[in-house]
Chain A
Amino acid sequence: MSKITKQDVEYVAGLAQLRLDDAAKERLVREMGDILAYMDQLNELDTSNVEPMMHAMEMTNVFRQDVVEPSLPREEALMNAPVHDGEYFIVPRILEGDAS
């Protein structure tokens, strides 16, 4: 019995913005189930008094002077965009209604 169901996989795929075919879902039920079951071994450890290690370097507030530095020229910022008009990134319509 896998730790997770096909419905779980579908729910997570929705959160992750992935579309999976049935075969991929079946495979992920099995693989994620195995991996999550393996991860459950962490529950053997009592960590009630352990501070979580939230940062790799325990540093706070790296400041710099608030000065304007040269930034990427617009042309270069746009050069990898799948669709642009020379000024803006273009995406499919977001709001309903007639194009005008």
Chain B
Amino acid sequence: MTTPLYKKTAREIRDAVRSGAVTATAVTEAHLARIAEVDPKVDAFTQIWTDEALAQAAAVDAKVKQGVDPGPMAGVPVGVKELICTRTGKTTCASKILENFRSPYDATIIKKLDAAGAIFLGKVNMDEFAMGSSTERSTLKTTKNPWNLKCVPGGSSGGSAAAISADECAMAIGSDTGGSIRQPAALCGCVGIKPTYGRVSRYGLVAFASSLDQIGPLTKNVEDAALSLNTLCGRDPLDATSADLPVPDFTKALTGDVKGLRVGLPKEYFTEALNAEMREKVEAAVDVFRRGGAEIVPVSLPHTDYAIATYYIICTAEASANLARFDGVRYGYRHPGAKTVEEMYVLSKSEAFGPEVRRRIMLGTYVLSSGYYDAYYLKAQKVRRLIKKDFDDAFEQCDFVMGPTSPIPSFEFGAKTENPLEMYLADIYTISVNLATLPGISIPCGLTASGLPAGLQMIGRPFGEETLLRAAHCYEQTSGITLGEPPIA
């Protein structure tokens, strides 16, 4: 085997490091060299923690040498989204308002990954405060899609997806409020899973929309997603909304077959809004499941068309409340010209929030304001229940729901920044999953004629990650679809 170390999967790296076949130091060096080689083109990484990563790797290697268990993620190089609090480096949320913020504590998932032997290579790019679907809203840099450098990587976890697809790390942490893990995974041709709300602690995730946000991994394959979830999931006393449920060994769910599974195809996901090429890929995927012995069941999610309106009321309302904390007092940017407390609030926010963040704060403030609360916010909470009920009803007939992740493949920079509503509409297939608090996974299902990845999404019952992983893994193993290497050109 002469596969370069940076091409190896997390599981391969973990096994090789644990057995002593390769050192975590060698793995880390190989990835740092890969970053130095390709990141000037891709621009996924916003911070590179060379010294800290090599120190972590040396600690893992010392454990292996002493015969001490180095952990289930030993030596796995990880990229961390800019909104996860880390004591190392900065936590900027890709925003001017936090451009110098150094978290005094680590997020729970950072502590867990560190204890599991993972190596943090640095931080990766995102849309400011995770508000966007293309990573063009970052104030830090412009991340490119490794499959076509003229095209966006998706968002908001665009840096995470691009870094995986360009082999700069073996696992990347993303967060998903309305598709921000799954959509960039689809656009960059990697695997991304949003676990059920409550599966993963949100302690140390800078809040965007608290009833929708969830942390999850982006990986090169489904097995690595399962392996990562083993470490990431679980109850955390520091997050009262984390679920008090046992965490299974997710890798045991990868049985390699889908016999007897019932795959629900919602008719609302296969309308004219779906690009013809994407439809073709998803239909080919349906055939793979049929051939594998799964039962294909037509289902209906009748409130699908109302999901975007519902989502953008709830997420902007929650965002406007969450972002009110950036007052220039305890942390974050303070305008130097502020003479009064009110000026400090107003000038600091007005100067340091970007246009998309300001727009969402304005919308959220509007829908919560006196006279409009019932008409917008309360109405959206009611429709949210109807959307959740659609899925509950569908799961009476099927074990998971399948369809495209995004109605369109990646697009060129600037193509959708002028019309915010058009950008929102591209989230049609992913946002219902957050509204209904369900787990969803995106895996590659081919390349378009222009060489851009297409993503297949599977949506499961609450805490049904094992079924999703089993189905996605079987598809990956039996579809015969491999994307090959992105040209990074």
With A55-B211, A64-B237 as contacts: A39 and B197 at CB distance below 8 Å: no
With A17-B346, A77-B104, A80-B332 as contacts: A45 and B381 at CB distance below 8 Å: no
- In the complex, besides A79-B102, A80-B101, 5 extra interface pairs with C-beta distance below 8 angstroms are A19-B347, A36-B366, A40-B309, A41-B306, A53-B385
Report the Cα distance A28→B313, complex, angstroms: 16
Within 8 A of B (CB), among A35-81: 35-36, 38-43, 45, 47, 50-57, 59, 62, 64, 72, 76-77, 79-81
- In the bound complex, do residue B350 and residue A19 qualify as a contact, i.e. CB atoms below 8 Å apart? yes
Interface of B is mostly: helix
A84 → chain B closest CB, angstroms: 9
Report the Cα distance A83→B241, complex, angstroms: 34
Report the Cα distance A50→B379, complex, angstroms: 9
**What is the interface of chain A, defined by CB distance below 8 A to chain B?**
4, 8-9, 12-13, 15-20, 24, 28, 31-32, 34-36, 38-43, 45, 47, 50-57, 59, 62, 64, 72, 76-77, 79-83, 89, 91-94
Report the Cα distance A77→B104, complex, angstroms: 7
B177 → chain A closest CB, angstroms: 11
B151 → chain A closest CB, angstroms: 25
**Does residue B273 face the partner (Cβ distance < 8 Å to A)?**
no
Report the Cα distance A79→B91, complex, angstroms: 14
Q: Which of A31, A38, A76 contacts B309 (CB 8 A)?
A: A38
- In the bound complex, do residue B385 and residue A51 qualify as a contact, i.e. CB atoms below 8 Å apart? yes
- In the complex, the chain A residue whose C-beta lies closest to that of B214 is A56
Within 8 A of A (CB), among B54-108: 100-102, 104-105
- In the bound complex, do residue A92 and residue B362 qualify as a contact, i.e. CB atoms below 8 Å apart? no
Q: Which 4 pairs from chain A and chain B are nearest by CB?
A: A52-B381, A80-B331, A82-B334, A47-B382
Could you say which residues of chain A place their CB within 8 Å of the CB of B334? 82-83
A49 → chain B closest CB, angstroms: 9
Report the Cα distance A16→B388, complex, angstroms: 31
Could you say which residues of chain B place their CB within 8 Å of the CB of A52? 378, 381-382, 384-385
Q: Which of B353, B383, B385, B388 contacts A42 (CB 8 A)?
A: B383
B311 → chain A closest CB, angstroms: 10
- In the complex, the chain B residue whose C-beta lies closest to that of A16 is B365
A/B pair count, beta carbons within 8 Å: 152
Report the Cα distance A40→B379, complex, angstroms: 10
- In the bound complex, do residue A28 and residue B359 qualify as a contact, i.e. CB atoms below 8 Å apart? yes
- In the bound complex, do residue A54 and residue B381 qualify as a contact, i.e. CB atoms below 8 Å apart? yes
- In the bound complex, do residue A57 and residue B320 qualify as a contact, i.e. CB atoms below 8 Å apart? no
**Does residue B363 face the partner (Cβ distance < 8 Å to A)?**
yes
With A31-B420, A55-B211, A82-B328 as contacts: A47 and B361 at CB distance below 8 Å: no
Per-position contact with A for B376-407: 1 when CB-CB < 8 Å, else 0?
10111111111010000000000000000000
- In the bound complex, do residue A12 and residue B366 qualify as a contact, i.e. CB atoms below 8 Å apart? yes
- In the complex, the chain B residue whose C-beta lies closest to that of A83 is B334
Within 8 A of A (CB), among B284-303: 303
Choose among A15, A20, A32, A56 the residue with the greatest number of B CB atoms under 10 Å from its CB.
A56
**Does residue B452 face the partner (Cβ distance < 8 Å to A)?**
no
- In the bound complex, do residue A82 and residue B345 qualify as a contact, i.e. CB atoms below 8 Å apart? no
- In the complex, the chain B residue whose C-beta lies closest to that of A94 is B341
- In the bound complex, do residue A80 and residue B102 qualify as a contact, i.e. CB atoms below 8 Å apart? yes
A54 → chain B closest CB, angstroms: 6
B32 → chain A closest CB, angstroms: 28
Report the Cα distance A38→B363, complex, angstroms: 13
B238 → chain A closest CB, angstroms: 10
Report the Cα distance A30→B320, complex, angstroms: 20
- In the bound complex, do residue B341 and residue A92 qualify as a contact, i.e. CB atoms below 8 Å apart? yes
**Does residue B243 face the partner (Cβ distance < 8 Å to A)?**
yes
Report the Cα distance A68→B71, complex, angstroms: 31
B362 → chain A closest CB, angstroms: 6
- In the bound complex, do residue B211 and residue A56 qualify as a contact, i.e. CB atoms below 8 Å apart? yes
Within 8 A of A (CB), among B330-377: 330-334, 338-347, 349-350, 353, 355, 358-359, 361-363, 365-367, 369, 376
**Does residue B198 face the partner (Cβ distance < 8 Å to A)?**
yes
**Does residue B183 face the partner (Cβ distance < 8 Å to A)?**
no
Q: Which of B306, B328, B378, B421 contacts A45 (CB 8 A)?
A: B306
Report the Cα distance A42→B338, complex, angstroms: 42
**Does residue B329 face the partner (Cβ distance < 8 Å to A)?**
yes
User: What are 16 of the A-B contact pairs (CB < 8 Å)?
Assistant: A9-B362, A16-B320, A17-B345, A17-B349, A18-B353, A19-B346, A52-B381, A55-B211, A77-B104, A79-B102, A79-B104, A80-B102, A81-B330, A82-B329, A82-B331, A92-B340
